[in-house]
Structures are given as C-alpha cells and as structure tokens.
Amino acid sequence: MLTYALRRTLISIPIIILATFLLFAIISVSGDPLQDLRQQPNITEEQIDNVRQSRGLDDPVAVQYLRWVENIPEGGFGEYLLAPRPIWPDIQRVLGNTMQLVIAAEILAFVIAVFLGVMSAKRQYSVFDYTTTTISFIGYSFPSFLFALFLQVAVVQIFVRTGVRIFPIGNLSSANPGTGLAFVLDRIWHLILPIASLAIFSVASYSRYMRASMLEVIHSDYVRTARAKGLPERTITTRHAMRNALIPTLTVAALSFGTLLGGTIIIETVFGLDGMGRYFFQQLGRRDPYPLMAWLTIVAVVIVAFNLIADLLYGYLDPRIRYD
C-alpha cells in the first residue's frame, strides 16, 4: 500500500516539472517581462540592462529554467523579478489563509453533498430528489464569482435597508480581531460567504456522485441481507450502505481539490482575501514569472498531497482494495 502511494506520488514529479517548464516557456515567449519597467519614467536603460544581466534573461529558456530549479533547495523560490524581496515568505502567509478557506469549503461541501446524495437516493423520484437535482443543476450553471457577487449584493442591500451587518463582504479579519477564541470566531465570520461561494459548485458535483453510488449500493444483495436480518434502517444506511457508497465520492472530492484551489483565484479576488488565489491573480497582472512558478509548484504539491491522503483513506474505508 505504501509502495503504491509512493509510486503515485513519484509519477506526479515529472508532471510538476513539465507544468512549470511549460509555464516558464509560455511567459518567456509571450513577451518582455520588463515591459512595465520600461514605461516608468525614472528608470534608465542601464538599470534595465542590469536587471536583464543579473537575472540572465537573455539566456535560452531551458537554461533559465534549470537555474530556477537549481535554486529551489537553498534559495526557496528566489526573489521577485523587479524587487529584491524573497518570494517564499509571501507564499507562506497566503498559503495558510487559503488552506483555511479551502479545507473548510471542502469539508462543508462534502458533508452537505453526502447528506443530500444519501437522502435523494433513499427517496428516489420523490419531491426531495427532484428538488436536489434541480438545485445541483443550478449549482453547475452558477459561476462562482457571480454567486459571490449576489451574496455581496444581498448582504449590502440588507445593510442599507435595516442597518444590520450580517456578514462582512471582504477581508480576512476585522480591524481589531482580538486574540484566541475571539480571533477564530471573527475569522469564521469573515470566511462564511467565501466558503459558501467556493463550496456551491462542489456541493452540486459531489452530491450527484453520492446519489449515483448510493443508488447502486442500496440495491445490492448485502444491503438486502442486512434488511432481512431485521437491522434498523438507520444502521443499514449509515453502517452498511454509506460506508461503501462514500468511496467513489471521496475519490471525486480528492481529485477535485485542485478545482477548489483554482476557485480561490476568483473568490479571493472578489472578496479581497489575502490568499493564494488573489496572490496568483496579482502576480499575473505583474507578469512576473518567478512567483507564478512558485505558486504553481506549491499548488501542485498540495494537490498531490491531498490525492495521497485520499488514497490512504481508501484503504481504511474499503479493506477489499489491494494495492500491489
């Protein structure tokens, strides 16, 4: 099992290398990264040449890329192209914030989706089932940025009309967040709308998978046996059927973790949260290849880690699965 997980992880290394190289090549091909610098009036041609030489921007793309890779073990992810500041501390800060958002959204989406999926499978073709199906269709058709905006509009309109501020529509914390429990509660209060916007698509997607796999399981022989034994319905659902039905949904959830991380680009930009997503979007605007590549590498590593966790969870949930 461990070797299996290890192999899966090893396979992803060349993919990460390929992805970062492609990104680097695209950015290099698409134009001059110093373009913005040139337009600033107080920058002389000499200074630009200095940057160009010290960073080796005239070298072939492959050489530049290799230099970047070599530098990772000791220098973190190096410095920004135009500012002598290390990239790694920034990434560390935003990564922590984003993980709070993404993990909360993932867990929330998973729990809601499992509940919806199980309930609509148990009552197939009922009003509840049709309602959930329709809602999941809406979830698929609702761009997350728009959902976030609608939530903001609603909250703002309520504030304008009643003077009650239900939720903040931006930032990670209040001006004076306090410490300890107060800080945590304040953070949760700020994150509720972003989490909801991020989770809606996942709820729609996971609940369809959960419903499908639950339908398959509850019509299987061993569930009928459990019912014939006279077990209470609740036990059959939770202990017998759900345990097996969870497995495919869990895979989907783990594989969709990257989608969720990608979704933070939009959600964090809309809500103005200091996280990975907004960081990516800001650096994209600056066309600085180095932080973008650092971002891509970190995100890929996080996604691989989550797939690994899902693989390990598998073995726990379903002892029938053999890894060899």
The least distance separating another protein from the CB of residue 283, rounded to whole angstroms, comes to 11
Minimum Å gap between C-beta 230 and another protein is 29
> Would you put residue 86 in left (φ > 0), alpha (ψ -120 to 50) or beta?
beta
Closest approach of another protein to the CB of residue 157, in Å? 6
SS (H, E, C) the chain: CHHHHHHHHHHHHHHHHHHHHHHHHHHHHCCCCCHHHHHCCCCCHHHHHHHHHHCCCCCCHHHHHHHHHHHHHHHCCCECCCCCCECHHHHHHHHHHHHHHHHHHHHHHHHHHHHHHHHHHHCCCCHHHHHHHHHHHHHHHCCHHHHHHHHHHHHHHHHHHHCCCCCCCCCCCCCCCCCCHHHHHHHHHHHHHHHHHHHHHHHHHHHHHHHHHHHHHHCCHHHHHHHHCCCCHHHHHHHHHHHHHHHHHHHHHHHCHHHHHHHHHHHHHHHCCCCHHHHHHHHHHHCCHHHHHHHHHHHHHHHHHHHHHHHHHHHHHCCCCCCC
With respect to another protein, which residue has the nearer C-beta, 185 or 219?
A: 219
Judged by CB, which is closer to another protein: 119, or 300? 300
- Tell the smallest beta-carbon distance from residue 46 to another protein (Å): 28
Shortest distance in whole angstroms from residue 273 CB to another protein: 15
Compare residues 157 and 235 and give the one whose CB is closer to another protein: 157
Residue 28 vs 187, nearer CB to another protein: 28
Which chain residues interact with another protein by CB under 8 A? 11-12, 15-16, 18-19, 23, 26-27, 30-31, 136-138, 140-146, 149-150, 152-153, 156-157, 160, 201, 204-205, 208-209, 211-213, 215-216, 247-248, 251-252, 255, 258-259, 261-263, 265-266, 269, 280-281, 284-285, 287, 292, 295-296, 299-300, 303-304, 307
**Least distance between another protein and beta carbon 142 (Å):** 6
Q: How far apart are the first and last CA of the chain?
A: 7
Closest CB 294 distance from another protein, rounded Å: 13
Q: Name the one residue in this structure whose structure tokens are 């492609």.
A: 22
Provide the sign of the torsion angle of the four alpha carbons 75, 77, 83, 85, taken in this order: negative
- Tell me whether residue 236 or residue 261 sits nearer to another protein (CB atom): 261
Comparing CB distances to another protein, the nearer of 15 and 185 is 15
The residue whose two tokens read 């680097």 is 24
Q: Please, which residue, 69 or 231, has the CB nearer to another protein?
A: 69
- Smallest distance from another protein to CB 183, Å: 28
- For another protein, give the closer residue by CB, 172 or 265: 265
Compute the least distance from the CB of residue 58 to another protein, in Å.
20
Q: Which is nearer to another protein, 146 or 185 (CB)?
A: 146
